[in-house]
Amino acid sequence: MSVAIETTTAPTAPMTAQPVVLGQRARMPEFSLAGKVVLVSGAARGLGLTQAEALLEAGAKVYALDRLEEPAPEFEQIQQRAIELGTELHYRRIDVRDTELLNSVIETIANEEGRMDGLVAAAGIQQETPALEYSAKDSNTMFEVNVTGVFMTSQAVAKQMIRFGNGGSIAMIASMSGTIANRGLICPAYNASKAAVIQLARNLAAEWGTYNIRVNTISPGYIVTAMVEKLFVEFPERRNQWPKENMLARLSRPEEYRGAAVFLLSDASSFMTGSDLRMDGGHAAW
């Protein structure tokens, strides 16, 4: 005995237009920042300046913000590179704790440029002090710079992004120390401040997503900078111990975070927000 079963073809969802990617003449155009205006706080030297240079290479016009009276000597060399790359690097002296000046400077830049596209909030301070010896003044200073300063810089930039209606991207420099307690490194207020930055980014992402503003964090591991080299002179055992605490058995260099800044501020990460990009050599994955 046979049974006939009537079948019908299931309806298919209508095809949506797909962006053309095959045959692109430009190489990875989604990483381009050409024509964009980007601010980098804490960019007079170190990681902030290194990331600023990467943004210039991607085509952005960059404004470096820092409290130092003069940026590092290599700043002028990078300014010259910017000219060769067909873009510009500018310096504005400002302390992120001065909210009134911060808003004024950022609004002036936005008015002059007619747009505001991105921010890398890299300004921050560090202090190694046992919890039982920490003063309220030092603790407040830490949070004022590392949390409130990042918050107010992001707010000032977001206001301009919303005014122009083009959206934008904000990347805050957090730390692996925002999710772990560093063995042998006593920095309770610093670690708490970086945990706050990670949580702050999630909340700003939730609030500002409707304006097409993305907010993410980068959490570096230990970075060999001039300041860390001085620390190794005082605590030579750390030079040998710290590399053993991650899966790559070495410390990172500032230039290893260049690509992350370009990725987060460009359309290469257009569907990424409220996320933490942890780059710690596997330190926190043990």
Q: Which residues are catalytic?
A: 190, 194
Amino acid symbol at 2: S
Residue 225 CB contacts under 8 Å (≥ 6 apart), including other chains: 46, 47, 254
Q: Which amino acid is at 13?
A: A
- 150-153: which pairs have CB atoms within 8 A and are 24 or more residues apart? 150/41, 150/96, 150/121, 150/123, 150/124, 150/197, 150/200, 151/200, 152/96, 152/99, 152/102, 152/103, 153/39, 153/41, 153/65, 153/96, 153/102, 153/106, 153/119, 153/121, 153/123
User: Do 207 and 265 meet the contact criterion of CB atoms below 8 Å apart?
Assistant: no
40-191-103 Cα angle (round to 5): 30
Tokens of residue 246, six digits: 């991650």
What count of other Cβ atoms lies within 10 Å of the Cβ of residue 110?
Answer: 21
Structure tokens at 279: 């780059």
